[in-house]
Structure 1
Amino acid sequence: MKFFRTAMLAAALALPLAPLHALAETPPDVLVVAQNIDDIVAIDPAQAYEFTSGEFVTNVYDRLVQYDAEDTEKLAPGLATEWSSDAASKTIAFTLRDGVKFHSGNPVRPEDVFFSLKRTVVLNKAPAFILTQLGWTPENIAEMVKIDGNKIVIKYEGDFSPNFVLNVMASRPASVVDELTVMANEKDGDLGNAWLNANSAGSGPFKLRVFRPAEILTVDANPDYFKGAPKMKSVIIRHVAEAATQQLLLESGDVDMAQNLTPDQVAGLEGKGTVKIETYPQAAVHFLSFNQKTAALQPEAVWDAARYLVDYKGMTDSFLKGQMTTHQAFWPSGFPGALDDTPFTYDVEKAKKILADAGIKTPITVTLDVINSTPFTDMAQSLQSTFAQAGINFEIVPGTGAQVITKYRARTHEAMLLYWGPDFMDPHSNAKAFAYNADNADGSYQSTTTWRNAWAVPDEMNKATLAALAETDGAKRDAMYVDLQKQVQAKSPIVIMFQAVKQVALAPKVSGYVNGATSDFVYYRLVAKN
């Protein structure tokens, strides 16, 4: 009977509409994951800018240089075997690896690298700024990225260190796509964007089989991957928003991994022996922000008071226990340049005095957008309760991850509860997001928390952000970022509260799962079932 049920499940998993909840015991060569994946807006690497889409891109596409499963803290060769930089001429030359093929069977060519970088710049979707900050534009990209035999030579503008540029080239929008396949599916000049949001054209360890938003994401192993074939033939990520349902599926054997359990659930599972818990420090910071298009949220006294209306300890001692720590600066703890000071505590009387001294009339009523899943709804309810004591009333507006993020990007929210992870592992990634906004116009879209909250950052802070980016002395640069974080702590409509710690529950037989500090460092290639 056990063999029969396993065979039934293996057959069912091949069918996209299979009712998995009725079955048990996953196949030995298929990893089934329960996870909230409704944050995905796009999976085209030139557009993907969400946490879960980052996991997808990393497992399906390669970059010239990249952080890999074997060591998520070390920049390693990817499609390039080696590179040389010339800081004086602001160029880096990459030597392309021989013999690598895309999932289509097409060889990976220098032309594909050029096409991919140009495509990201021309499409100009949410993550394109990561590349365009190098001075690349649709008009000059042919001069900034050139092919020299089996080498790709990139040129950059601006006062950047080569290490900063290498981290940019290791980022998600620098992923290399198969030009021939993508352009065969182009429609109306979209450079294959619509097609790549439902298909894949990479060279990575996995290839997309099926993606249905807020339902399922399935990838199959690439047996010819240049670093070795994955041990799992397939990875199936099922959208399961409810933490309780994830636990039930894991304990019944219907899934091998649950990604979004609550601290109470984790505590209840530890020590049982039927499930193992693995913990991964994360670079994501969680914050409350106020849109400066909303008049009631414009006074600086509201920002100041808000920092004393968050019950940091109450949340981290209860429903966030083990999954978040108090952190009040934009660059995460554990990385060079981080600020670990936590000067704010829950103090209603102090918040009331700040508001009264500034002549702020209460009550103030604003909407608070939040992702409709654990722990975000619990955090929103805590904020609603504590802020109300000072006369700031939140009307909670729940939505899917995609709905909330789309609204945030359109600047149509009032207050927002959300999180942010670095786009690449350099403090400028978060400094630009939290401390820079030189053009606050509605038509000047920027993938930053400052622009999305319509906060016109003071010119002095903008200049300080650019100065830290240009600093070549490592110790001085770190000190400049610490100072920037203190400035944002002192005066900003963005209240940074916590840093995430990820707890993943796995079946005891699962090994080799790798989860680095960001969603771009989640790897399934080494996963095995023992």
Structure 2
Amino acid sequence: MKLFRTALMASALALPLAAGAAYAATPADALVIAQNIDDIVALDPAQAYEFSAGEINANLYDHLVQYAAEDTTVLAPGLASEWTADEAAKTITFTMREGATFASGNPVRAEDVLFSFKRVVTLNLTPSFILTQLGWSADNIDEMVTIDGNTVTIKWDGDFASAFVLNVLASRPASIVDEVLVSEHVEGDDWGNAWLNTNSAGSGPFVLTDYRPAELVRMTANENYFDGAPAMKQVLIRHVAEAATQQLLLTSGDVDMAKNLTPDQIASLGDGVKVEAFPQAAVHFLSFNQKTESLTDPALWEAARYLVNYDGMTESFLKGQMEKHQAFWPKGFPGSYDETPYYYDVEKAKQILADAGVETPITVTLDVINSAPFTDMAQSLQAGFAEAGINFDILPGTGAQVITKYRDRTHEAMLLYWGPDFMDPHSNAKAFAYNSDNSDDNYTATTTWRNAWAVPEEMNEEVRAALAESDQATRNEMYVELQKKVQAESPIVIMFQAQLQIAMGENVDGYVNGSNSDFVYYRLVTKD
């Protein structure tokens, strides 16, 4: 039995009908999606921090500069048509795009940029740290962001290259909102936050026309979008928590796309449906806490890299979900290092341990989130490492339990994943290659500190130098070299990069899903 239909009615998508009604295919100019969207807490770009919220905001708002839907590895002009960086003065001056308007019809002005950034740092909600790391605050924002006619000058305080600052300005909290429209909906001192959590005030290719928590998101095309109106006049995202229901809706033609199918369901799809795979920014790793004496020998770190059955996992239970990747910055973006020199070789691992005089057996507790595929990965690691005399006692727990233990540095070995807060390689270099203060009372949200790895000062300096390097090509090379060093000489064994499989009708083309939720674009979608 089909569970609901979506039919064109008065230029809008109809709500679900009762079981037993007559059903129709989705409209030719509407994209209908089944997706679990119950993670949404907020939609205001000054507050939104969840994956689903990121996808929605990417289609509602523009930035001064942004990663292009046509190529999500290219940082392209957005609401700024051009810019000039002054590295010495630590400024970038942007020229606003001529003729750009918000979906409301209001012109996009330099004043909207200042307003947008000011409301983020003043509200000081979860993602504000991405902007405040530039030295911005509610007290100084008027000095750090200045306007002159149709130009905006951005200033920062810190040893940052302009390339890093540009990536910060391409992040979600740097979305530009319509000051005139938002100001009409301010309640007290909320800067329009309550209204923006159920409405939109952007210049992007779509407008939010309906949002019902844990039920649906409806977006309508912005016909005046500066980069061309979308072919899809509407995008309807239906909250469907159960993967089996998503599969049924897709195969029966009631939706065009299902985003949360399991590998088994993907494998069982029949005719009329295609599957596209998209590498994601999250990297999965095994790490060793350096507070545990038996895990401090670099020979053990090296041997561990040959005890992971990379191909065995990616060709079986991880098939379609992850691909082999052994560096801290995900492939698909400038500065990534994509070589995978390590492979499963028990005898080589044994020889490394023997040559270094490492005594085995060693018993280690391994903390892991108690859900697939993490428990399956842990069992594979347990089997492989046991061959070389390293015995994992698997300790499953909830995500909150595992991460709390990791933050407290009370684990021995940890199986976990990491994704960047914004798409600049420094976001991950700081996490995997930097730790200038390893003391217990210096809590730092990095894998290095959480594993009590006192990073060599030479590597710390290389991270700082890469952050400050003004030449982008040189900067990328510096991050590649850092990844090579971490890959070979750290207690963190990076194994995989996540991959997202999305099933859709064969008639759907042009869907763009970059390496994280901020790069999901519907503007180029067509349906034959």
Paired residues for 1:302-341 under 5 Å? 307-341=305-339
Counterpart-to-counterpart distance in 2, 1:489 and 1:472: 25
Matched, 1:170 2:166: no
Partner AA of 2:247 in structure 1 = Q
Matched, 1:480 2:478: yes
Structure 1 pair 233–412 and aligned structure 2 pair: CA distance change class (3 A): farther
Paired residues for 1:203-222 under 5 Å? 203-211=203-211, 215-222=215-222
Structure 1 pair 195–411 and aligned structure 2 pair: CA distance change class (3 A): farther
Matched, 1:144 2:144: yes
Partner AA of 2:416 in structure 1 = L
C-alpha distance after superposition, 1:301-320 (max 9, x if no partner): 58666545532111111133
Give secondary structure in 2 for the equivalent of 1:248. helix
Partner AA of 1:300 in structure 2 = T
Contact persistence 1:67–1:73 (CA under 8 A): yes
Partner AA of 2:504 in structure 1 = L
Counterpart-to-counterpart distance in 2, 1:448 and 1:235: 37
Which segment is superposed worse, 34-43 or 296-305?
A: 296-305
Which segment is superposed worse, 448-457 or 122-131?
A: 448-457
Partner AA of 2:458 in structure 1 = E
* Structure-2 residue corresponding to 1:238: 238
Structure 1 pair 76–487 and aligned structure 2 pair: CA distance change class (3 A): closer
* Structure-2 residue corresponding to 1:55: 55
* Structure-2 residue corresponding to 1:275: 273
TM-score by length of structure 1 reads 0.80
Counterpart-to-counterpart distance in 2, 1:348 and 1:67: 42
Partner AA of 1:66 in structure 2 = Q
Partner AA of 1:429 in structure 2 = S
Give 5+ residue unaligned stretches, structure 2: none
* Structure-2 residue corresponding to 1:465: 463
Counterpart-to-counterpart distance in 2, 1:504 and 1:177: 30
Structure 1 pair 209–267 and aligned structure 2 pair: CA distance change class (3 A): same
* Structure-1 residue corresponding to 2:128: 128
Q: How far is 1:524 from its partner?
A: 0.4
Q: How far is 1:429 from its partner?
A: 3.1
Contact persistence 2:41–2:48 (CA under 8 A): yes
Structure 1 pair 204–406 and aligned structure 2 pair: CA distance change class (3 A): farther
* Structure-2 residue corresponding to 1:498: 496
Partner AA of 1:519 in structure 2 = S
Give secondary structure in 2 for the equivalent of 1:200. coil
Structure 1 pair 514–469 and aligned structure 2 pair: CA distance change class (3 A): same
Counterpart-to-counterpart distance in 1, 2:268 and 2:41: 34
Counterpart-to-counterpart distance in 1, 2:278 and 2:125: 30
Contact persistence 2:5–2:254 (CA under 8 A): no
Q: How far is 1:494 from its partner?
A: 3.7
Matched, 1:65 2:65: yes
Give 5+ residue unaligned stretches, structure 1: none
Contact persistence 2:6–2:13 (CA under 8 A): no
Matched, 1:25 2:25: yes
Give secondary structure in 2 for the equivalent of 1:72. coil
Contact persistence 2:289–2:295 (CA under 8 A): no
Contact persistence 1:291–1:411 (CA under 8 A): no
Q: How far is 1:448 from its partner?
A: 4.6
Structure 1 pair 345–447 and aligned structure 2 pair: CA distance change class (3 A): same
Q: How far is 1:202 from its partner?
A: 2.0
* Structure-2 residue corresponding to 1:86: 86
Which segment is superposed worse, 444-453 or 190-199?
A: 444-453
Aligned residues: 517
Structure 1 pair 308–212 and aligned structure 2 pair: CA distance change class (3 A): farther
Structure 1 pair 193–276 and aligned structure 2 pair: CA distance change class (3 A): same
Give secondary structure in 1 for the equivalent of 2:308. coil
Q: How far is 1:184 from its partner?
A: 5.4
Counterpart-to-counterpart distance in 1, 2:467 and 2:145: 22
C-alpha distance after superposition, 1:254-308 (max 9, x if no partner): 2211234455544554xx541123344444423345678xx66994358666545
Contact persistence 2:407–2:445 (CA under 8 A): no
Give secondary structure in 2 for the equivalent of 1:92. strand
Matched, 1:420 2:416: no
Counterpart-to-counterpart distance in 1, 2:215 and 2:294: 39
* Structure-2 residue corresponding to 1:153: 153
Counterpart-to-counterpart distance in 2, 1:223 and 1:250: 28
Structure 1 pair 121–420 and aligned structure 2 pair: CA distance change class (3 A): same
Counterpart-to-counterpart distance in 1, 2:273 and 2:293: 45
Paired residues for 1:227-306 under 5 Å? 227-240=227-240, 242-269=242-269, 273-289=271-287, 299-300=295-296
Give secondary structure in 2 for the equivalent of 1:313. helix
Contact persistence 2:368–2:396 (CA under 8 A): yes
C-alpha distance after superposition, 1:224-244 (max 9, x if no partner): 323333222322223445544
Contact persistence 1:290–1:493 (CA under 8 A): yes
Structure 1 pair 347–230 and aligned structure 2 pair: CA distance change class (3 A): same
* Structure-1 residue corresponding to 2:117: 117
Structure 1 pair 274–405 and aligned structure 2 pair: CA distance change class (3 A): farther
Structure 1 pair 6–176 and aligned structure 2 pair: CA distance change class (3 A): closer
Flag the structure with larger Rg. 2
Q: How far is 1:465 from its partner?
A: 0.2
Partner AA of 2:232 in structure 1 = M
C-alpha distance after superposition, 1:321-344 (max 9, x if no partner): 344321111123354443334344
Partner AA of 2:510 in structure 1 = G
Give secondary structure in 1 for the equivalent of 2:416. strand
Contact persistence 1:296–1:364 (CA under 8 A): no
Q: How far is 1:127 from its partner?
A: 3.8
Structure 1 pair 509–219 and aligned structure 2 pair: CA distance change class (3 A): same
Give secondary structure in 2 for the equivalent of 1:496. strand
Give secondary structure in 2 for the equivalent of 1:461. helix
Q: How far is 1:181 from its partner?
A: 4.6
Counterpart-to-counterpart distance in 2, 1:314 and 1:233: 44
Which segment is superposed worse, 296-305 or 214-223?
A: 296-305
Matched, 1:524 2:514: no
Q: How far is 1:466 from its partner?
A: 0.6
Matched, 1:489 2:492: no
Contact persistence 1:121–1:137 (CA under 8 A): yes
Counterpart-to-counterpart distance in 1, 2:282 and 2:204: 25
> What is the percent sequence identity of the aligned residues?
62
Counterpart-to-counterpart distance in 2, 1:231 and 1:107: 23
Matched, 1:43 2:43: yes
Which segment is superposed worse, 309-318 or 405-414?
A: 405-414
Q: How far is 1:351 from its partner?
A: 7.7
Structure 1 pair 160–64 and aligned structure 2 pair: CA distance change class (3 A): same
Contact persistence 1:280–1:516 (CA under 8 A): yes
